[in-house]
Amino acid sequence: MTHPHTTVRLPHALLGLLTMSVLAGCGAPGATPASPDLQLEAGQAGLRTPVTPQKVSAPLTGGWVIQDPAASDGSAVALLGTADVVSFELPRNLKAGEYTVSVVGRGELYLGAPVVSLSSEGGPLGTVTLDNTAYDKRTFGRATLRPGATLTLTFLNDEYGGPGMDRNVVIDYLLINQSKSGF
């Protein structure tokens, strides 16, 4: 018995329609507008410590990830010397634009409070004083940010007078807020 060969086009048409629907929904990934807040944890950021003669003779300086139950994720970064930094890379899908940039951190006070600066590849963005001994937000101000940029937070004014007499900075996270009311 011979069966004529027939082509059924309906399943192919449905498959084509389904494929077009799926591809239309896949589009390019959307930009993250950092709304309401984008929180960049310091414990997961990059640490960089300059090499100086003091570092060779006193190697217990520099930025360290520390366990701190008071920090948002249980860890923070301690910056222990002048020019120690923690760097934050912005997400590549961040929407370019103006943001309010703040740091949540605390100071270890000795002969004054620690001061930190924030900069990007485009230059300085501002400085804040961490005169608080519990984690609190300090705002650098508004900045134009772009996807994938690196923000660098630098400790500016270490002071050491012996054990228990040391000015340091402890950073929990950097906060990026798109609204103008983030101050």
**pTM of the prediction?**
0.71
Cβ atoms 121, 74 nearer than 8 A:
no
Residue 173, classed as helix, strand or coil, is strand
Tell me the pLDDT band of 38, cut-offs 50, 70 and 90. confident
* Predicted pLDDT of residue 113: 98
Q: What is the mean pLDDT of residues 152-171?
A: 95
- 2 or 23: which carries more pLDDT confidence? 2
User: Phi-psi region for residue 74, left (φ > 0), alpha (ψ -120 to 50) or beta?
Assistant: left
* Predicted pLDDT of residue 181: 53
Nearest to 127 by CA among 143, 138, 136, 112: 138
Per residue in 142-151, pLDDT (tens digit) is 999 999 999 9
Q: 48 pLDDT exceeds 90?
A: no
Per residue in 51-106, pLDDT (tens digit) is 344 333 344 446 888 999 999 999 999 999 999 999 899 999 999 999 999 999 99
Tell me the pLDDT band of 31, cut-offs 50, 70 and 90. very low
- 24 or 30: which carries more pLDDT confidence? 30
Task: Please provide residue 42's backbone torsions phi and psi, each rounded to the nearest 5 degrees.
Answer: -65, -35
Q: What percent of the chain has pLDDT over 90?
A: 58
Q: What is the mean pLDDT of residues 101-120?
A: 97
Tell me the pLDDT band of 130, cut-offs 50, 70 and 90. very high
- The sign one gets for the Cα dihedral 94, 135, 112, 109 is negative
Q: What is the mean pLDDT of residues 170-183?
A: 80
Cβ atoms 107, 167 nearer than 8 A:
yes
- How do the domains of the chain map onto residue ranges? 37-177
CATH for the 37-177 domain, from 3.40.30.10, 3.30.70.20, 2.60.120.380, 2.60.120.260: 2.60.120.260
Tell me the pLDDT band of 46, cut-offs 50, 70 and 90. low
